[in-house]
């Protein structure tokens, strides 16, 4: 009955650190350490947090036409992505729905992709089926672990192992040797803070994690704080804030569609669902993802209905919880377009009682990416 859970290369370390483990995307993952979610969240924003995100999927594309091939699957400029840079991207389906969100990095001799854990097998199959004839699609699911070091002290910590990372700016990516392991390091993350994501061969993952945890600024951080950090940063969680039933336009992710690939762009369209997405941009959408600031102390969680002043249901919360840095509950959700303007006052139904919420700008907490 209970399906056996997969383990990341850091599983034993999590147990040693006293983590509380939960099933997540088929993996046995740390939701929190003895420090607890609130303090882990605050520690990440104040100093540096180390996250095990090895459950996520890492994929390499090699060959002569990787960029044009990948452009047939994402509304993003990959051909124009410089060596040493990465970009946020979306796999779309024929209806314009979102199959997954991902990071794409140009390492010069290959494209390096990081996809969501729950979608990684489907993404790999999608890539092989759709562009497998045009480039080589290689899964690194078993070969590489992924660590995220996030927070204002991340750069000084990582620079002790490799001084050159201090020169990187937001969305830079490069190969770096860390403790003798061939790593791929990007200056990015999903917390709204400055920081790095580090792809390391499985055999080097534990020693690298231990080396970073030995630094005084670094605490191990679980999935609980990862979720509250990304929520405050206004970032979408796939399967909750977007899925195959939502388009980039509805999900307020038009910013992720590169100019070159939009209707008026140099390489317009050519990705699945382009016509549907362009039509929505032209004609408007009936609903949209918005940020919600909760006007009371009670947390408003995923699934809560959003109603107008007359009690008519006009939307639904897709992510919500307490924002420790904000010191208040925050949420995001989809609302009918008539209610999507900033400052619109709505109510979220929590245990059959209306809780006042206001449509608000995201991120809820200012992003602190290092842009040089």
Partner 1 sequence: MVMRFTEEHEWLRLEADGTITVGITDYAQDALGDLVFVQLPELRAYAQGEEVAVLESVKAASNIAMPIDGEILEINEALSDAPEQVNQDPLNAGWFFRMRPADPEALGTLLTEDSYAQLIKA
Q: Could you list the residues that contact partner 1 (CB under 8 A)?
A: 31-32, 36-39, 41, 224, 228, 297-299, 301, 321-322, 324, 329, 351
Shortest spacing between CB 300 and partner 1, in angstroms: 10
For residue 106, say if its preceding peptide bond is cis, omega within 30 degrees of 0: no
Shortest spacing between CB 215 and partner 1, in angstroms: 25
Comparison of 5 and 22: residue with beta carbon closer to partner 1: 22
Comparison of 57 and 321: residue with beta carbon closer to partner 1: 321
Comparison of 97 and 299: residue with beta carbon closer to partner 1: 299
Shortest spacing between CB 322 and partner 1, in angstroms: 4
Comparison of 175 and 301: residue with beta carbon closer to partner 1: 301
Comparison of 14 and 41: residue with beta carbon closer to partner 1: 41
Comparison of 259 and 297: residue with beta carbon closer to partner 1: 297
Shortest spacing between CB 301 and partner 1, in angstroms: 7
User: Mapping DSSP to helix (H, G, I), strand (E, B) and coil, where does residue 80 land?
Assistant: coil
What's phi and psi for 82, nearest 5 deg?
-65, 155
What span, in angstroms and rounded, lies between the C-alpha atoms of 307 and 316?
8
Which residues, 6+ apart, have CB-to-CB distance to 98 below 8 Å? 90, 91, 92, 238, 242, 243, 244, 246, 247, 248, 251, 253
**What Rg, from alpha-carbon coordinates, does the chain have?**
20
What span, in angstroms and rounded, lies between the C-alpha atoms of 301 and 316?
10
Which residues, 6+ apart, have CB-to-CB distance to 296 below 8 Å? 329, 355, 356
- Using the 8-state DSSP alphabet, how is residue 303 labeled? T
Shortest spacing between CB 298 and partner 1, in angstroms: 5
Residue whose entry in the numeric block shows the structure tokens 């996030």: 150
Comparison of 46 and 202: residue with beta carbon closer to partner 1: 46
Which residues, 6+ apart, have CB-to-CB distance to 167 below 8 Å? none
Residue whose entry in the numeric block shows the structure tokens 């991340």: 154
Shortest spacing between CB 297 and partner 1, in angstroms: 5
Shortest spacing between CB 135 and partner 1, in angstroms: 41
What span, in angstroms and rounded, lies between the C-alpha atoms of 97 and 247?
4
């Amino acid at each position: 009955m209970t399906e056996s859970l997969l383990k990341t290369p850091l599983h034993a370390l999590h147990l040693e650190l006293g983590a509380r483990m939960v099933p997540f995307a088929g993996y046995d993952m740390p939701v929190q350490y003895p420090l607890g979610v609130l303090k882990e969240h605050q520690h990440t924003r104040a100093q540096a947090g180390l996250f095990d995100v090895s459950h996520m999927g890492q994929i390499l594309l090699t060959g002569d036409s990787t960029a044009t091939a990948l452009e047939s699957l994402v509304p993003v400029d990959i051909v124009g992505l410089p060596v040493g840079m990465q970009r946020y991207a979306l796999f779309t389906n024929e209806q314009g729905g979102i199959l997954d969100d991902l990071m794409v990095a140009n390492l010069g001799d290959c494209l390096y992709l990081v996809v969501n854990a729950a979608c990684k097998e489907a993404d790999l199959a999608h890539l092989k089926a759709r562009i497998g004839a045009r480039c080589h699609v290689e899964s690194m699911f078993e070969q590489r672990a992924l660590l995220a070091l996030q927070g204002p002290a991340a750069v000084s910590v990582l620079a002790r192992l490799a001084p050159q990372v201090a020169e990187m700016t937001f969305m830079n990516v490069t190969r770096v040797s860390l403790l003798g392991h061939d790593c791929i390091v990007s200056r990015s993350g999903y917390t709204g803070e400055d920081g790095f994501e580090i792809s390391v061969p499985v055999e080097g993952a534990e020693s690298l994690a231990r080396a970073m945890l030995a630094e005084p600024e670094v605490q191990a951080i679980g999935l609980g704080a990862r979720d509250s950090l990304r929520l405050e940063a206004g970032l979408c969680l796939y399967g909750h804030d977007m899925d195959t039933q939502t388009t980039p336009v509805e999900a307020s992710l038009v910013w992720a569609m590169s100019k070159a690939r939009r209707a008026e762009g140099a390489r317009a369209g050519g990705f699945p669902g382009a016509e549907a997405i362009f039509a929505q941009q032209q004609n408007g959408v009936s609903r949209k993802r918005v940020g919600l600031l909760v006007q009371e102390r009670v947390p408003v969680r995923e699934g809560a209905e959003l109603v107008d002043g007359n009690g008519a249901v006009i939307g639904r919360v897709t992510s919500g919880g307490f924002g420790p840095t904000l010191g208040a509950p925050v949420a995001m959700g989809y609302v009918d377009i008539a209610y999507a303007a900033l400052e619109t006052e709505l109510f979220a139904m929590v245990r059959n009682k209306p809780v006042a919420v206001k449509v608000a700008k995201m991120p809820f907490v200012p992003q602190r990416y290092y842009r040089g």
